Amino acid sequence: MRDFINFVGRAALAGAIYPFLMLILFFGPRFGLLLFLGFFYWYLLPGAVVGIGLWLLAARLAAPPKAAIRFAVGTAISFVVALGIHLSNFLFFGNPDLFSVDKLLLDVTPMLLMAAAIGGVAGLASPKLATTKTEPLSYLERVRLYEAAEQQANAARRRLQSQPVR
């Protein structure tokens, strides 16, 4: 549970950096901060979804994903979220202009850049690897491991002794 909160929390806060900076830049520190805090959960949502995706990915992989993979996965997940928001505008408001090819092509580039700025940073901020705690071995399991290691050592010693010295 601690890993899940670590992945989602770090990615959500990192994903909110870009909207925060843009709102402060365009609306000033006073009104931009009010807009940011008013819709805070909307700015945390894409990063949190990226954190969930990377948590699932890190739990499945043996080696930790590199920074470029985390950036690409974060960008892809954030792009899907942005595309879903874009399509929800069509479904809720019924604006047929949203599905013209020209409009869609003009919207894809800014969405990709925003997805890289939000999801890519969220992917980079998420941890590399999920820590997994292993249960301590019982006495019987430790004895079996010790006996197996002792048998391997004896077999290796016998092989070394049976080889002629050159």
From first to last of its 166 residues, what are the pLDDT tens digits of the chain?
778 888 888 888 888 888 889 889 999 888 888 888 888 877 888 888 888 888 888 878 777 888 898 899 999 998 888 788 777 766 676 666 656 667 767 778 888 888 888 888 888 888 777 665 567 788 898 899 999 999 999 999 998 888 877 6
72 within some domain: yes
Please give the Cα distance from 47 to 38 (Å, whole number). 17
pLDDT at 145: 92
In a domain, 134, yes or no: no
Residue 112 lies in a domain: yes
133/161 Cα distance (integer angstroms): 41
State residue 37's pLDDT score. 86
- The answer to the question of residue 55 being in a domain is yes
Note the pTM of the prediction, 2 decimals.
0.66
DSSP code of residue 135: P
The structural domain count of the chain equals: 1
Please report whether residue 130 resides in a domain.
no
DSSP string, 39-79: THHHHHHHHHHHHHHHHHHHHH-SSPPPHHHHHHHHHHHHH
* Helix 40-60 × helix 2-15 angle, to 10°: 130
State the pLDDT at residue 44: 84
Report yes or no: 79 and 112 within 8 Å, Cβ to Cβ.
yes
Domain membership of residue 19 as a residue range: 2-125
Per-residue pLDDT at 64: 80
In one letter, which amino acid is 141? Answer: E
Nearest to 68 by CA among 8, 128, 131: 128
